[in-house]
Structure formats: structure tokens, C-alpha cells
């Protein structure tokens, strides 16, 4: 369920329609505001299904994205897309990449494959190496209006969610 962020989604759609997609985007904004929902919605619009979607999330034990995960991602990116014209990679909580992971990932950003779209999602963009930050097109996300949340949830839930649809869903 996508609540709000139509401006961001429209920008991405227009970029795709005009064949002007950046190779990497950095979705930044508060926790639970809908960054991942927009990334998944956009990926589904590009593919109509998800066979060529790669999702990287922090390891549950260490709560960080480890270098082995990035190496595995790089290997997967070396393969051709399965059925879609491009692969979409979503790195959720990109700020949890440790220093080694970020350094390893940097080469992928510096030499992007033509059939790959990278989306990094973070609440803390300053935790990323400046070279990673500078190689991504930044898209900022802000809290959603209470009215938009109310259209899907009760007024009380909309009020206590503080503009964060993810919190409304959790409640």
C-alpha cells in the first residue's frame, strides 16, 4: 500500500518514460515514511513482476550489511537479467553498510552496468561515504500529510503516526 509520495513516484516514472533514469538513486528521509514502498512500487511498474529484483537488507544478527552480502550482490549483477530489461537492486538501510561494504560497493557505483538500477534507502545519508553519496541522485522523502493517512486509516491512527505511513500500518 502506497500512501503519499506521488511527486517522487511521478518523477521516477517520467525519468523512465523519457529513458533518463539515473543508474543509482538515494532515497533519504525519516524512518517508516514510505521510501521502501515507493522503491518497490517503482520496481513493479518497471517490471510488472519481480524476477529481477534484488533486495539487500542488514543481517539480522549483526544489524549491518556485511561485505559478503555486497560481494554476493556484485556476483548477481554480473549475470544478465532473468526476464526484465534491467535488474533493480534495493539496498534497504544502506547506512548499515560497514566501511568494508561501502568500499566494496563503490566500484559498482563507479562503473555501473547498463542493465542495472540501484536504489539505496536510508534515514542517515551522512553515514554513507561521500563518494557513494555523490554518485547517487538524491530523492528526499518527508512525512505524509495526516489527511492522506486518514484516507486509509482512522483519524486517531493518522494522528499518532506523525506523518509516517509505516507507523500507521504497525499500529
In angstroms, rounded to a whole number, what is the distance separating the alpha carbons of residues 155 and 158?
A: 5
- Per-residue b or e along 40-50, where b marks 16 or more CB atoms closer than 10 Å to that residue's CB: bbbbeebbeee
What would the pLDDT profile of 104-142 be if each residue is shown by its tens digit? 999 889 887 888 899 999 999 999 999 999 999 999 998
**pLDDT bucket at 143, cuts 50 / 70 / 90:** confident
DSSP one-letter string for 83-102: SSSSEEEEETTGGGB-HHHH
Task: With a cut of 70, say whether residue 28 has pLDDT above it.
Answer: yes
Please report the pLDDT score of residue 44 as a whole number.
83
In angstroms, rounded to a whole number, what is the distance separating the alpha carbons of residues 63 and 94?
A: 11
The residue-averaged pLDDT of 72-90 equals 86
Lowest-pLDDT range of 6-10, 18-22, 63-67, 159-163:
159-163
Cβ 112 vs Cβ 76: under 8 Å: no
Cβ 50 vs Cβ 87: under 8 Å: no
Please report the pLDDT score of residue 13 as a whole number.
87
Give pTM, 2 decimals.
0.88
What would the pLDDT profile of 84-102 be if each residue is shown by its tens digit? 778 889 999 999 999 999 9
Please report the pLDDT score of residue 161 as a whole number.
75
**Average per-residue pLDDT for the chain:** 86
What would the pLDDT profile of 43-52 be if each residue is shown by its tens digit? 888 865 566 8
**pLDDT bucket at 57, cuts 50 / 70 / 90:** very high
In angstroms, rounded to a whole number, what is the distance separating the alpha carbons of residues 43 and 50?
A: 8
Residues whose CB is less than 8 angstroms from the CB of residue 160 and which lie 6 or more positions away in sequence, other chains included: 167, 171
Amino acid at each position: 500500500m502506497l500512501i503519499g509520495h506521488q511527486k517522487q513516484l511521478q518523477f521516477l516514472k517520467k525519468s523512465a518514460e523519457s529513458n533518463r533514469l539515473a543508474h543509482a538513486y538515494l532515497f533519504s528521509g525519516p524512518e517508516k515514511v514510505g521510501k521502501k514502498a515507493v522503491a518497490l512500487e517503482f520496481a513493479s511498474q518497471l517490471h510488472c513482476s519481480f524476477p529481477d529484483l534484488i533486495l539487500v537488507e542488514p543481517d539480522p544478527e549483526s544489524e549491518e550489511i556485511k561485505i559478503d552480502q555486497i560481494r554476493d550482490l556484485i556476483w548477481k549483477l554480473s549475470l544478465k537479467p532473468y526476464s526484465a530489461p534491467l535488474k533493480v537492486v534495493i539496498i534497504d538501510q544502506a547506512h548499515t553498510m560497514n566501511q568494508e561494504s561501502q568500499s566494496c560497493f563503490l566500484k559498482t557505483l563507479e562503473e555501473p552496468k547498463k542493465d542495472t538500477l540501484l536504489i539505496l534507502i536510508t534515514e542517515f545519508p551522512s553515514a554513507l561515504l561521500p563518494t557513494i553519496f555523490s554518485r547517487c541522485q538524491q530523492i528526499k522523502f518527508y512525512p505524509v500529510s495526516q489527511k492522506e493517512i486518514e484516507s486509509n486509516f482512522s483519524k486517531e491512527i493518522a494522528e499518532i503516526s506523525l506523518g509516517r505511513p509505516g507507523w500507521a500500518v504497525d499500529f
